[in-house]
Structure 1
Amino acid sequence: MRQKRRSGILLHPTSLPGPGGIGSLGKECRHFIDFLEEAGQSLWQVLPLGPAAYGNSPYSCYSAFAGNPLLIDLATLVDEGDLEPEEAVAEVSADHVDFPAVDAFKSRALRTAAARFHAHGDTDRKQEFWHFCDTTPWLHDAALFMALKEHFGGKSWNTWPKEIARRESAALEKYSVRLGVAIGEHKYIQWQFSRQWRHVREYANSKGIAVVGDIPIFVAFDSTDVWTNPGLFKLDDKGKPTVVAGVPPDYFSKTGQRWGNPLYDWDAMAADGFRWWIERFRGSFALHDVVRVDHFRGFEACWEVPAKEKTAVNGQWVPAPGTALFDAVIGAVGSLPIIAEDLGVITPAVEELRDRYRFPGMKILQFAFDSGPGNPYLPHNFTRDCVVYTGTHDNDTTQGWFQSLSPRERREVLAYTDTTGKEVHWELIRLGMASVADMAIFPLQDVMGLDGSSRMNLPGTPRGNWSWRYSEGMLTAKHAKKLLELTVLFGRK
């Protein structure tokens, strides 16, 4: 049976407007969902929702299971009595996310809210909180990890005293008692994130909108995941990675991308039936309706870079047990509504793995105009089982991309779209909508026609990313009307 044609918008919640210097899961989030409904959209894609670590990247988190505290809506905590109104007000820049300033303010506010809740919270909410604690297996380790990071001045877990770095039983008990207050704060924070996100997702679903999440294939070295499961990663005797993740030279970088994430010991993971991955997918589908798997090709083979190398050039492809892993996950979790991020160096083996499970791949229109009519990203070469994007969070905006093209490439774009290029962002959106792809998803920046100053991420640059926000008034009824017209015209509503 053919899947229903759908379309939607890519927007991370941090990019929403509103007070506090960062988007949140409050009323502005619901207003955006209302916009999606008005525009006839049925998909909302977000980036990973975890607590961002290095470089504020949602693809490098302190936990693969926890939520990002910076997304918590403080106005809701005021309504619930955990904050006073003045405690939820911050003088923080609204144009872009100033992560250090936002983190300092929100961390202080959330600690205050947690203390007030633990001291004076009503019985029903306390019962809900303790039920969350009792039924969330990863929670204590994640809360303890964050409390320990604070206690040791933000240092990486492998530099902590050996007894706790190695998770000796006596040390775990000692620090769980010593840092009990901080652990309780972090558990409260995760409870609030969980309930607020649940309400947001329920609201979206009530409007007929499915939430598309994102699983980064790798995790950060300085994370709860590596600290609690060191045997599942390729580490040396001192707990440091022997090899790290990346990709070889490609469209984005002449020296490749050295991501630095520790790589999995696939033999160790297979030995326990891929338990960690089963729980990770189970947790992600508890948060989302569909999940995009970032760097899907890493399930067939990973680019291993010796940890001592400064670039990703001198790496090698090392096989990964994709079939065994997905068989195990499907056996435990059931069907997997997954989008496979199959960009980069894709081999027949990667395509076979993707197609074996009927995971739709991705088609990026910005990649379509550099190699003639056989280019696989041109819509006339699509098959139905794919998801078309103008660009992703790693691409420039369509306006910025078009301005950066050579004259020859611009002519190809104009010839293919049969337009003047005056509104090239809408022309590419129209191409995606009209294509046979079952799903079409567009970054909100392209709907608004914004230039390259509004891109979300520039791969290979460690700073200055992930901070874009739109402000009140930028997203209008005209945008909704235009999207709705195209959605209806091309049978996606």
Structure 2
Amino acid sequence: MSFERSSGILLHITSLPSYGGIGDLGPAAYQFADFLAAAKQRLWQVLPLSPTGYGSSPYAALSAFAGNPLLVSLEKLADWGWIEGKRIADLPGRSGNIHFDDVEKKKMPLLVEAARNFLQRHEELHLSAQWTRFDAYCRTNATWLNNYAHYNVLRRKFSLACWNEWRNEYAYHEPDAISLLEKESGEELAIEQVIQFAFEEQWMALRAYCAERDIRFIGDVAIFVSYDSADVWTQRDIFDLNEDLSPIRVSGVPPDYFSATGQRWGNPLYKWDVLEERGFDWWIDRIRRAHSLYDVIRLDHFRGFEAYWSIPAEDDTAVNGEWVKAPGAALFSRLREALGELPFIAEDLGLITPEVDALREQFNLPGMRILQFGFSNRGAHNYLPHRYEKNTVVYTGTHDNDTTRGWWENGATKVEKGAVKTYVHPGTREGVVWPLIRAASTSVADICLFPLQDILELGSEARMNVPSRSGDNWGWRCPEGMLTPELAKKLGDLTLVADRDRVQEEEKSEAAQK
């Protein structure tokens, strides 16, 4: 699928300076949308919006379909009348990085209280219109929503243990056990549904606000899902599991220049033959859900749709894995048949073979280029703008990279620094970040995306994620007061001269027609 020439910013919702210690779908999100509009940016990329599990990583989700409750704005719930304003007065403020455990302990009980108020007092609070939408929402999303509610209630019942450690009747999802759960825990289950409804209402309102300003959302779909998730618990037959429910083989990537033992991610692998026999029904449901949330979908680890690294589950490293072919062409053909032409971006970083390129090109999907990667040696020059094709998405860096300033100050080698100076001629007073932003923006790539940390010229202290680090990730938040009109004008001026502004594109189109 071809995309219009445009640019945007990568900023996960949690990184907004919202009230309550974590970015959410409240006022700060709308203020950021206003900044994007003022800066003539038409794309807002977020990381997966799913509820997080281990390490608070959006890529270690408890569900591939649900929304993260911590993204629900209590300020908005107070505006709706679900909870009194004084009840949320003692939450953490808008500044500083996220302390996930502290936020969860303080925020979740208030979300539950607000949801219970909605359930029990919707008539008294004159919320009949919302109640009608809630009823429709539950019916439309019944399959995944009920599964997620069951999973979350049981997870708390068993002290957050992984589902395979629950009592057998629950671990094996026996119908009688689930019926008993519904009888005994009806209100708890309903509260889970209400919180998901609140997420949906707030997310769709933000999307509508952005759409009015010609801003579209890019969302992330990870190829694999977490073992400890509602998805694997309820769909065991499409995952490669033993009879005792443990994984047989797991995901990762092989040893390479960066790691002598590779990376063992540990996600269970799909039974692709079973999925194909079923017409890829689970994947159709998953992408349909993603497309209901996002305008454009970035497919994480795209190369795994052509072939994936399969590791024996009992191994501690990825050394003994093997490449196994995946039915990517059959999957994408079926998705197109069921859902129409979809706006996918292929995250094609890492070890990319001609077969992976052929799969991406077969479905006309834009690939990714990371500017930071282009300066190490001549073999990396396909990441530099003079090697781009139009059907490309260029980033200065991603959530997994250091910020551009941090890379320049702490990671770039002498060879890389020399290449950067030759390529973009950074001035001594301006620094290196904006020259690289300009190089990306003025490239031929249809889409150009900048992490907000680069627009703000922040250092390594603002890095979002270090992939090899087990803790202290995902917590960065944008400091208040940095999204100034002057910064919006600076970015907007670049957007205009680089022909990434819709108004200019429309004017050119009208001139051509005359």
TM-score by length of 2: 0.94
Identify the range of structure 1 (173-182 vs 246-255) with the bigger mean alpha-carbon deviation.
246-255
- Report what 1:316 is aligned to: 322
Identify the range of structure 1 (253-262 vs 449-458) with the bigger mean alpha-carbon deviation.
253-262
Contact 2:2 2:364 in 1 (8 A): no
State the SS of the aligned residue for 1:244.
Answer: strand
| 1:395 maps onto 2:396 in alignment | no
- Report what 2:416 is aligned to: 409
- Report what 1:134 is aligned to: 139
Contact 1:12 1:45 in 2 (8 A): yes
- Report what 2:165 is aligned to: 159
Shift, 1:362, TM fit: 0.1
Selected match of 1:427 from 430, 435, 442 = 435
CA distance in 2, matches of 1:67, 1:148: 18
Q: Deviations over 1:77-122 (max 9, x none)?
A: 1111111112223443631110001111111001101111111013
- One-letter amino acid of the counterpart of residue 241, structure 2: L
Contact 2:3 2:447 in 1 (8 A): no
Contact 2:373 2:380 in 1 (8 A): no
- Report what 1:65 is aligned to: 65
State the SS of the aligned residue for 2:383.
Answer: coil
Shift, 1:22, TM fit: 0.3
- Report what 1:115 is aligned to: 116
State the SS of the aligned residue for 1:470.
Answer: coil
Identify the range of structure 1 (245-254 vs 266-275) with the bigger mean alpha-carbon deviation.
245-254
Identify the range of structure 1 (418-427 vs 435-444) with the bigger mean alpha-carbon deviation.
418-427
Shift, 1:2, TM fit: 6.8
Describe how 1:274-293 pairs up with structure 2 within 5 A. Answer: 274-293=280-299
- One-letter amino acid of the counterpart of residue 480, structure 1: A
Contact 1:163 1:171 in 2 (8 A): yes
- Report what 2:105 is aligned to: 104
Q: Deviations over 1:193-242 (max 9, x none)?
A: 00100001111111001110000111010101001100100111110111
| 1:241 maps onto 2:229 in alignment | no
| 1:184 maps onto 2:174 in alignment | no
State the SS of the aligned residue for 1:20.
Answer: coil
Flag structure 2 segments of 5+ consecutive residues without an equivalent.
Answer: 502-514
State the SS of the aligned residue for 1:375.
Answer: helix
| 1:258 maps onto 2:264 in alignment | yes
| 1:482 maps onto 2:490 in alignment | yes
- Report what 2:278 is aligned to: 272
| 1:456 maps onto 2:461 in alignment | no
- Report what 1:55 is aligned to: 55
CA distance in 1, matches of 2:321, 2:34: 46
State the SS of the aligned residue for 1:442.
Answer: strand
Q: Deviations over 1:419-460 (max 9, x none)?
A: 236421111110101100000000000000000111100002
CA distance in 2, matches of 1:106, 1:182: 17
Identify the range of structure 1 (46-55 vs 398-407) with the bigger mean alpha-carbon deviation.
398-407
- Report what 2:42 is aligned to: 42
- One-letter amino acid of the counterpart of residue 132, structure 1: Y
CA distance in 1, matches of 2:15, 2:87: 23
CA distance in 1, matches of 2:330, 2:379: 37
Contact 1:18 1:471 in 2 (8 A): no
State the SS of the aligned residue for 2:476.
Answer: coil
CA distance in 2, matches of 1:484, 1:45: 18
What is the total number of aligned residue pairs between the two structures? 493
- Report what 1:11 is aligned to: 11
Describe how 1:192-271 pairs up with structure 2 within 5 A. Answer: 192-250=198-256, 252-271=258-277
Contact 1:374 1:381 in 2 (8 A): no
CA distance in 1, matches of 2:2, 2:63: 37
CA distance in 1, matches of 2:162, 2:385: 46
- Report what 1:439 is aligned to: 447
CA distance in 1, matches of 2:192, 2:33: 28
Shift, 1:51, TM fit: 0.3
CA distance in 1, matches of 2:3, 2:477: 33
Contact 1:245 1:302 in 2 (8 A): yes
Selected match of 1:384 from 385, 390, 409 = 390
Describe how 1:14-33 pairs up with structure 2 within 5 A. Answer: 14-33=14-33
Q: Deviations over 1:389-427 (max 9, x none)?
A: 000000000001111212222111111112236421111
- One-letter amino acid of the counterpart of residue 472, structure 1: E
CA distance in 2, matches of 1:166, 1:315: 29
Contact 2:51 2:58 in 1 (8 A): yes
- Report what 2:505 is aligned to: none
- One-letter amino acid of the counterpart of residue 130, structure 1: D
Contact 1:387 1:441 in 2 (8 A): yes
Identify the range of structure 1 (406-415 vs 26-35) with the bigger mean alpha-carbon deviation.
406-415
Q: Please, what is the CA RMSD of the aligned residues? A: 1.3
Contact 1:92 1:98 in 2 (8 A): no
State the SS of the aligned residue for 1:416.
Answer: helix
Contact 2:41 2:215 in 1 (8 A): yes
Flag structure 1 segments of 5+ consecutive residues without an equivalent.
Answer: none
Contact 1:50 1:67 in 2 (8 A): yes
Contact 1:20 1:89 in 2 (8 A): no
State the SS of the aligned residue for 2:101.
Answer: helix
| 1:348 maps onto 2:364 in alignment | no
CA distance in 1, matches of 2:256, 2:72: 37
Q: Deviations over 1:271-315 (max 9, x none)?
A: 100000000000000001001000000000111111112122221
CA distance in 2, matches of 1:396, 1:195: 34
CA distance in 2, matches of 1:255, 1:310: 9
Q: Deviations over 1:352-397 (max 9, x none)?
A: 0000000000000000001127621011111111000000000000
Shift, 1:4, TM fit: 2.4
Contact 1:252 1:459 in 2 (8 A): no
State the SS of the aligned residue for 1:368.
Answer: helix
